Amino acid sequence: MKEIVIGFLGCGNVGGGVWELLQGFAPEIAHRDQLSVRVKKILVRDVNKARSCSVPRELLTTVPEDVLCDPEITLVAEFMGGEQPATEYLLRALQNGKTVVTANKVAVALNWHKLQAAAQANHVGLYYEASVCGAIPIINALMTPLQANRITKLMGIINGTTNYILSRMSAQGESYDAVLQDAQKLGLAEPDPSSDVEGMDAAYKLSIMASLAFHARVPFKAVYREGITRVTAMDIACGKEMGYVLKLLAIAKRDGNTIEVRVHPTFLPQNHPLSSVDGSFNAVYLHGHACQEMMLQGRGAGDMPTASAVVGDILHAAMVDVHVHPTFANQAEPAKELTFTNNWTTKYYIRVSAIDAPGVLSAVAGCFAKENVSIASMMQKGSVEDGRVPLVFITHAASEQAMQAALADMDPAVCRLESMIRVED
Ligand SMILES: NC(=O)c1ccc[n+]([C@@H]2O[C@H](COP(=O)([O-])OP(=O)(O)OC[C@H]3O[C@@H](n4cnc5c(N)ncnc54)[C@H](OP(=O)(O)O)[C@@H]3O)[C@@H](O)[C@H]2O)c1
């Protein structure tokens, strides 16, 4: 039987899950793959910390070299998180001839080019399935079975925390603050939720997925980003009445050499496949010229779902003779022929607070018309308060520039913008 000796960097939620999965699954791995996986050393910050997993204390170390420089360890699995020191440790592992499996989207999104170059120079593997969407095999899908496709569109619900918050706001009409506090109590949101609710987490993952989908490096800094902190229960309710569901979507589209990558709250028609992906679930919906529409859905986080992707990578890496890497030029900067645009075309949901007087509607319509933005539907929501009335518009497809120009043209004394949410279908 083949034995592979591995080291862990980190032993928190994901590391503990990987340990338990490897222990519980060992007899099946041995039977199916003729492989035994031995964990030799585990780097942590504090060896005396109480841990919920059954890792023996003698495996723990606070000395990175115990993992990175041990010649018996041929594969390093990283679940420390953060850009540094994780990236430095991963580079050292690769330079020392060890294959790397990582769950760290930040390290991959920001330093992928350095990690891939080190892996290729040292003829070892670099695997990161768990860095995007937990258990969903989207990296593998893009790397292998979808290679024959020209992918033009990819949209994902790729952050479970924000999807949980928006799903509850939508189901029960609760406020953002109330649901966030509850999610923190339930352990579904971090004590500092900013990376999730500001869309950073989704933007890291989108940068990785879009690069693989478009065979071109899509840098993290190219991703336009708006979080969910300003979303109101009122907008969710208005959207619902007009047939839409609100999601934090990660969207990537390619048209020739023009790419748009954006993360922002988005209304989707209620019958869109992504609209029924609720709670902490993740899903990626894409369109390729050969496969056509496709959606992958599953658990995007959690110790065991993430461990499922990590252990899958470990088993694969242990069994292959030749490691495969993306074939595009993986450099920090994107290829010169590509343009990243913030002037995309989409529909818009606009809620305004307008004074209750004759001629106001035509003034608003005039601002839209001046920029060639046409209105598809309109609704008055609620009654007059303080002489103002809430009006909601859904536009036909318009460019972002035209929409922003129309909104800038409105006189707030007559018609004040309350919210603008993009609408996809
Ligand atoms: N949690 C999820 O559901 C999930 C899902 C997909 C991907 N991921 C990714 O997986 C990674 C780990 O997430 P997690 O939730 O498992 O994090 P976590 O629970 O905070 O665990 C981090 C582990 O790394 C160790 N560590 C951190 N910094 C270190 C340093 N400078 N030196 C030595 N050890 C260090 C910690 O040591 P101590 O235990 O001693 O503190 C801990 O064991 C992140 O990149 C995350 O984005 C997580």
- Which atom of ligand 1 approaches the CA of 45 most closely? 40
Ligand 1 atom nearest 104 alpha carbon: 45
All domains of the chain, ordered by start, with CATH? Answer: 2-132 (3.40.50.720), 138-300 (3.30.360.10), 345-423 (3.30.70.260)
CB of 159 sitting under 6 A from ligand 1:
no
DSSP string, 27-94: HHHHHHHSEEEEEEEEE-S-TTS--SS---GGGEES-THHHHT-TT--EEEE---SSTTHHHHHHHHH
- The sign of the torsion formed by the CA atoms of 229, 424, 246, 252 equals negative
pTM score, two decimals? 0.97
Amino acid at 226: E
Structure tokens at 179: 């649901």
Give the single-character DSSP code of 273. G
Using alpha carbons, list the distances in angstroms from residue 262 to 29, 124, 143, 153, 207: 40, 33, 22, 12, 10
The residues carrying an active-site annotation are 205
Hey, whose CA ends up nearest to atom 5 of ligand 1?
Answer: 301
- Say yes or no: CB of residue 10 within 6 Å of ligand 1: yes
Q: Can you give the pLDDT of all 425 residues of the chain as single tens digits?
A: 899 999 999 999 999 999 999 999 999 988 888 999 999 999 999 999 999 999 999 999 999 999 999 999 999 999 999 999 999 999 999 999 999 999 999 999 999 999 999 999 999 999 999 999 999 999 999 999 999 999 999 999 999 999 999 999 999 899 999 999 999 999 999 999 999 999 999 999 999 999 999 999 999 999 999 999 999 999 999 999 999 999 999 999 999 999 999 999 999 999 999 999 999 899 999 999 999 999 999 999 999 999 999 999 999 999 999 999 999 999 999 999 999 999 999 999 999 999 998 888 888 999 999 999 999 999 988 777 888 999 999 999 999 999 999 999 999 999 999 999 999 99
Task: List CB contacts of 386: < 8 A, sequence separation 6 or more.
Answer: none
